[in-house]
Amino acid sequence: MSTWEATGVGSHPGEDHIEAIKVVLGEVPRLPYLPELPARGVGADMIGRTAALLVDLSVEVQPSGWRLSGRPGRDHRRAVDHLRRDIDGLEEIGHDYAGPLKLQVCGPWTLASSIELKYGDKMLADAGAVRDLTASLAQGLADHCAEVRRRVPGVSEIVVQLDEPGLPGVLAGTVPTASGFGRLAAVEEWRVEESLRLFDAPVVHCCAPGVPFDVLRRGGAKGVSVDAALLRRRNDDALGEVFEAGMALFMGVVPGRDARLADVKAVARPAVELWRRLGFEPDRLAGQVVLTPACGLAGASPQYARAALAACRNAAQVLKDDPASGMQGQ
């Protein structure tokens, strides 16, 4: 974990997957990832891309969004083709890469909140359907990881990131029904914890307020990925337990869209301030905090996407070399 330093959340601008892979390998070489390019359209979005991994479950696009289907159709095949093309590109560009690699997929709860049953409400409304979906995703993801290892033999470790922006709403009971006129019942915390254990110690990314740190820790997550701007002092106790458990915190410290980037010490400052506030030893900081953009980079320009990743990498060096310097000028 101590060598990860910096990475990205997942999505990139444009439609050139080869160029995106080159940028990732060049700018965050300690923990590169397979980038996602949602600008390519149906099947390249977070839901469709992840649905392409499901075992024995097929999806299609309806006017209301993604829905289970009886058999793989055009939309499902398009999603599979996008993912296959991305893995081909990773094999081509990263054939001599050696080190860890991060793979992102939509987590089961956000997926269940987004996919509708064949006839009826969202999958989240049916506990049995959610169990089937979670098991299907866990198997499909394991197969995906095995293929990436086979295609890029130098990968020493695969870090699985589950994107769960909908999880706070699932736990709070604020997810709308398919009709939009009601809300689905809140899901018990133990169910979420149980589902996480089907995955191999994932990092869970949540860009929404109300990140359930305690639930993720109890569920065996390896790390939590959040926008630093959403962290408040009321989160300190939960974050302290996250760090005490040896988990990593992926902190989003630069905007996900084009903006003027601050100098490296200012980029590193949120991590340094949090660490100081919690009272942990300075030499542990670089080993448990990984710097990232605040969210995916799909809405940024290609130039900014590259610069944002470089800023995270350079700021991570501050944490490693001289964390106290990040507080200078305070």
The pLDDT tens digits for 67-92 are 999 888 899 999 999 999 999 999 99
Distance between CA atoms of 22 and 225, rounded to whole angstroms? 23
- Spatial distance between the Cα atoms of 67 and 197, rounded to a whole number of angstroms: 26
Reply yes or no on whether the pLDDT at 199 is more than 50: yes
Is there a domain that residue 199 lies in?
A: yes
Does any domain span residue 264? no
SS3 6: strand
* pLDDT(326) > 90: no
pLDDT given at position 324: 58
50 lies in some domain: yes
Split at pLDDT 50, 70, 90, the class of 328 is very low
119 pLDDT band, cuts 50/70/90, is confident
Is it the case that residue 323 has pLDDT exceeding 90? no
Long-range contacts of 122-130 (CB under 8 A, 24+ apart): 122/175, 122/177, 122/178, 122/184, 123/68, 124/170, 124/175, 124/184, 124/187, 125/177, 125/184, 127/191, 130/191, 130/195
The answer on pLDDT for 35 being more than 90 is yes
Give the C-alpha distances (Å, rounded to integers) separating 263 from 68, 97, 224, 254, 274.
47, 30, 25, 11, 18
Q: Is a pLDDT exceeding 50 seen at residue 329?
A: no
Contacts of residue 40, defined as CB under 8 A and 6 or more positions apart, other chains included, come to 15, 82
Q: Domains in the chain: how many in total? A: 1
Contact of 144 with 84, CB cutoff 8 Å: no
Residue 330 is predicted with a pLDDT of: 42
- What mean pLDDT comes out for the span 214-219? 97
Residue 293, domain member (yes or no): no
For residues 44-70, average pLDDT: 93
Give the range of the structural domain holding residue 156, as residue numbers without chain letter. Answer: 41-221
Q: What is the pLDDT at residue 327? A: 47
Average pLDDT, the chain: 94
Task: Examine residue 176 and state whether it is found in any structural domain, yes or no.
Answer: yes
Strand partners, 290: 250
Given a cut of 80, whether residue 2 has pLDDT beyond it is: no
For the segment 52-71, the average pLDDT, to the nearest whole number, is 92
Model confidence band, residue 325 (pLDDT cutoffs 50, 70, 90): low
**pLDDT, position 178:** 86
Taking a C-beta distance cutoff of 8 angstroms, is the pair 302, 14 a contact? yes
Per DSSP, the three-state class of 119 is coil
End-to-end CA distance of the chain, in Å?
29
Tokens linked to 120: 């009826």
Instruction: Assess if residue 328 is contained within a domain.
Output: no
pTM for the model? 0.95
Note whether 106 and 117 are within 8 A (CB).
no
Q: How far is it between the farthest Cα atoms of the chain?
A: 61
Q: Has residue 81 been placed in a domain? A: yes
Decide if 168 is inside a domain: yes
